[in-house]
């Protein structure tokens, strides 16, 4: 039982910082308590990506119709 609790404590000590980094999309072995990444920059990046994907999806969806209209 003693080995179980030692393993549990060591596992928590190792897994906690890895989980924080994973949640923040940072490299796993970086410092989890370093300066926070700017939230506004992350939102802008993700919004730009989402807009590009949406434009491509709309373009792909309307392509057959525009091809028929051009003929």
* Per-residue confidence band for 50, with pLDDT thresholds at 50, 70 and 90: very high
d(CA 43, CA 24): 13
* Residue percentage of the chain with pLDDT more than 70: 94
Helix (H, G, I), strand (E, B) or coil at 27: coil
* Per-residue confidence band for 33, with pLDDT thresholds at 50, 70 and 90: confident
Listed by start position, the domains of the chain span 1-33, 38-71
Asked whether the beta carbons of 26 and 37 are under 8 A apart, the reply is yes
Judged against a pLDDT cut of 80, whether residue 37 lies above it is answered with no
């Amino acid at each position: 039982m003693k080995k179980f609790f030692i393993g549990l404590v060591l596992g928590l000590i190792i897994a906690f910082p890895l989980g924080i980094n994973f949640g923040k999309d940072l490299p796993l072995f970086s410092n989890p308590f370093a300066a926070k990444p700017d939230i506004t920059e992350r939102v802008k990046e993700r919004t730009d990506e989402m807009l590009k994907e949406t434009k491509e999806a709309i373009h792909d969806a309307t392509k057959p119709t525009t091809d028929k209209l051009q003929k």
